[in-house]
Structure 1
Amino acid sequence: MNLPRDDRRVSTQRNRTITLLSLGHACVDVYQGAVAALVPFFVAERAYSYAAASGVVLAASLLSSVVQPLFGALTDRWAMPWLLPLSALTGGAGVALSGVMGSYALTLAAVAVSGVGVAAYHPEAARAARDAAHGSHTAMGWFSLGGNVGFALAPLLVAAVVGTGGLGATPLLVAPAVVGAALCAAAVRSAGTHGVPAGKDEGAGSDDWGSFLRLSGAVVCRSIVFVGLSAFVSLYVRQRTGGGAVAGTAALCVLYVGGAVGTVAGGRLADRYGRLAVVRQAYVLTVLAVAGVVLVPGPPVYLFVALTSAGLYVPFSLHVTLGQDYLPRRVGTASGVTLGLTVSVGGLFAPAVGALADATSLRTALAALVVLPALGRLLLCGLREPASIGPAVSPPPGSSGHSPHRASA
């Protein structure tokens, strides 16, 4: 059945804007993965200790995650589409300068600047993607996929550039930022309107902080599992399969590739079955899949790594839209928490997983992760599907009032 011309035009514009935002997201999130990928080069060329190298990662990731809710609060007060290209350039500039700074303190400052750029990008980008998606969870899945792809590509990019030219070549790493800034600027133009903060829209509903905090607790549980597996699944699969470095690397690739598939699948499933139903089932799948990773020996472990990846990533974009809809007057804050703060809290538990592995065994440490998605599933009990809020779009110049929110079916 053919769509009316106006509907086709809206659909085409939405797809174009989401595509641009997704590609821009990939360019920005390269810098979330690039700092960790630079660590071996800092150790090799500058003789950084492991503690010093960890400080570099912490300067970028922790600062980025903590200040994201602050930028979210700013975007709740003022619409700032110009922040998208500026933050992309800032994120890239910090990483580009990190390899040519003359001291450890200046290196920390450079990666901290990159972290702030990444932090500034996400709340406004998530709001812009929500506006462009017009209630489509599939569209939000594609936006989230861009970030996952950028993160996964970062080690390859760093290896190609710095592995060839040394730390002195890091200025070349600014290239994705320049491309990302251009894509973000094009996305803002493609949207054709400037979103207004949801809190400024009289049509926005009331904030449900209780549901939002329970959702955030579930996201923290998911984050701890993901960080723990990212850090140790490679070593663990090498032990379980008796393979070498290739076996471990293959497991990590399965974890990331499965995540890309899961992110898109999550949006499509949510459009059909509802967000909370899909999120709850994903947490149940994660419990079973992590148990399989721990208990199943030999090559079948790869199947359970893939299932774990799907369970962790299917709800990824749905967490963001649920958080936005639980806090319809604070969409930026909700985005900053679900995309930033909860991830950082999960990362803080990674040393605890490592300490447990040192005290017992790697298998025991990973077995403990099974409890977390079960706890996350319990936190989701009793939550109700919030009213899905559409874009808050400001009127064209010369007109008055706001376009009404469009609730998804």
Structure 2
Amino acid sequence: MSWGHACVDVYQGAVAALVPFFVSERAYTYAAASGVVLAASLLSSVVQPLFGALTDKRAVPWLLPVSTLVGGAGVALSGVSGSYPLTLLAVAVSGIGVAAYHPEAARVARRASRGSHTAMGWFSLGGNIGFAVAPLLVSAVMAAGGLRASPLLAVPAVVGAALCAAALRALTTADAVPAATRTTRAAGKDDWASFLRLSGAVVCRSVVFVGLSAFVALHVRQRTGGGELSGTAALFVLYLGGALGTVAGGRLASRHDRVTVVRWSSLLTVPAVAGVVFVPGPLLYLFVALASAGLYVPFSLHITLGQDYLPRRVGTASGVTLGLTVSVGGVASPLIGAVADAASLRTALAPLIALPALGWFLLRTPCRERTPAARPAPHSPYPPRPSASRNGPRGGGRRRTTRLRGWR
């Protein structure tokens, strides 16, 4: 599932990686280039929760390989036609494919991981690897034949569809109790107030990340005086730092309260983004890496927190937290592009500095943290693993309690 996630998220990173080539080969303005990012993000933002609601009602595992192929096909066709509307249509189709993939993939990954934060961190890491590889893959394809060579970008989709099919087959063989899983999931109570606050923090994080993804390559080229390679390197650092941040987030969540980890990572992201906007020269790459790590430490934690807040609607929670993390920020990208055209790219990116702090503010109310060791049952979609030490060395106290309550 993790490697399949990598193949899918290549296409989320590929759209931003294609922006400099649309600008250079087709003379797109900043606003027009950001419209491409918007086309990939807007429909994805709208339909992703709908796919999440669908997975809450019924399991649709076949959607994983199909959506992977659709996501790849859209990006592969984006460079074939010089028509701007057809380009927008192609990346919009890709966005729908990516949107269809994530809610069901998060549900399947949560089932396979049995609610482990570390395991979900590895699943999220796969997506970050896909992001990191995207600019390198796009640059290699563009060097081979420019935008006309974009059909070569369909290769990861074919590989990803095969990986998803293999993972589903292995999971079906290992665990054939989806009905029991749904019964256990429905036992919890949905906490919509906490989920809405979390969603606000996810939106803030998304706007910063997508804004940087769309324009950091052009921004670095301006600030360092380098060519296309310098911009590609910056995008690669942005995505690679996210991979490291995702692993760190899973590890930190196993030792500390998840909300505390999310809040502090948001706060520390503020100076990192400020460095990206204002620091010139090669040192800029360091701040790109720090901003990326800070933005990605909460990535898998947003997913598991959302699923714990809405245990009756795990698919919906996954569609919002996993989908909005990447897609809804694209809605703000045309505004960033318009400001960049009117003033400068640095001026347009400056407001992104404040958004991580707003995310910290939204999560300041302490949330009820439920870890497998402390409070396993109500809000975990899966039964806890057996523990010999939970009821004492012999478990006698537990048995006496249950008899007093009249259980057989």
**TM above 0.5:** yes
Which position in structure 1 is the counterpart of 2:73? 93
CA contact (8 A) 2:8 2:68 kept: yes
Q: What are the equivalent positions in structure 2 for 1:7-406 lying under 5 Å apart?
A: 21-38=1-18, 54-100=34-80, 106-192=86-172, 193=175, 195=178, 201=184, 203-237=186-220, 242-245=224-227, 248-294=231-277, 299-341=282-324, 343-357=326-340, 362-387=345-370, 389-392=379-382, 404=383
Q: Identity percentage over the alignment?
A: 75
CA deviations on 1:294-337 (whole Å, 9 max, x unpaired) are: 56565544433322222111111111111111111111111111
Between stretches 295-304 and 174-183, larger displacement belongs to: 295-304
CA contact (8 A) 1:85 1:182 kept: yes
CA deviations on 1:147-202 (whole Å, 9 max, x unpaired) are: 12212322322333344245554433322111111111111122233545976546
Whole-Å separation in 2 of the counterparts to 1:47 and 1:360: 19
Whole-Å separation in 2 of the counterparts to 1:47 and 1:289: 31
Whole-Å separation in 1 of the counterparts to 2:131 and 2:251: 22
Q: How many residues of Structure 1 are paired with residues of Structure 2 in the alignment? A: 377
Letter in 1 for 2:317: A
Q: 1:22 deviation in Å? A: 0.8
Whole-Å separation in 2 of the counterparts to 1:94 and 1:224: 23
Whole-Å separation in 2 of the counterparts to 1:258 and 1:290: 13
Whole-Å separation in 2 of the counterparts to 1:107 and 1:294: 30
Structure-2 change in CA distance of 1:258 and 1:406 (3 Å): same
Consecutive unaligned residues in structure 2, runs of 5 or more: 372-378, 391-408
Between stretches 350-359 and 89-98, larger displacement belongs to: 350-359
CA contact (8 A) 2:190 2:309 kept: yes
CA deviations on 1:39-61 (whole Å, 9 max, x unpaired) are: 56667777777766555443332
CA contact (8 A) 1:391 1:405 kept: no
Whole-Å separation in 1 of the counterparts to 2:107 and 2:240: 26
Letter in 1 for 2:96: V
Q: 1:97 deviation in Å? A: 3.9
Structure-2 change in CA distance of 1:137 and 1:74 (3 Å): same
Which position in structure 2 is the counterpart of 1:10? none
Whole-Å separation in 2 of the counterparts to 1:326 and 1:121: 22
SS in 2 for 1:377: helix
CA deviations on 1:54-109 (whole Å, 9 max, x unpaired) are: 55443332212221110000000001112111211222233334444696655544
Q: What is the RMSD of the two structures over their aligned residues, measured on CA atoms?
A: 3.2
Whole-Å separation in 2 of the counterparts to 1:298 and 1:100: 36
CA contact (8 A) 2:34 2:334 kept: no
Structure-2 change in CA distance of 1:47 and 1:123 (3 Å): same
Between stretches 170-179 and 349-358, larger displacement belongs to: 349-358
CA contact (8 A) 2:19 2:214 kept: no
Letter in 1 for 2:364: C
Whole-Å separation in 2 of the counterparts to 1:239 and 1:48: 17
CA contact (8 A) 2:311 2:381 kept: no
Q: 1:27 deviation in Å? A: 0.8
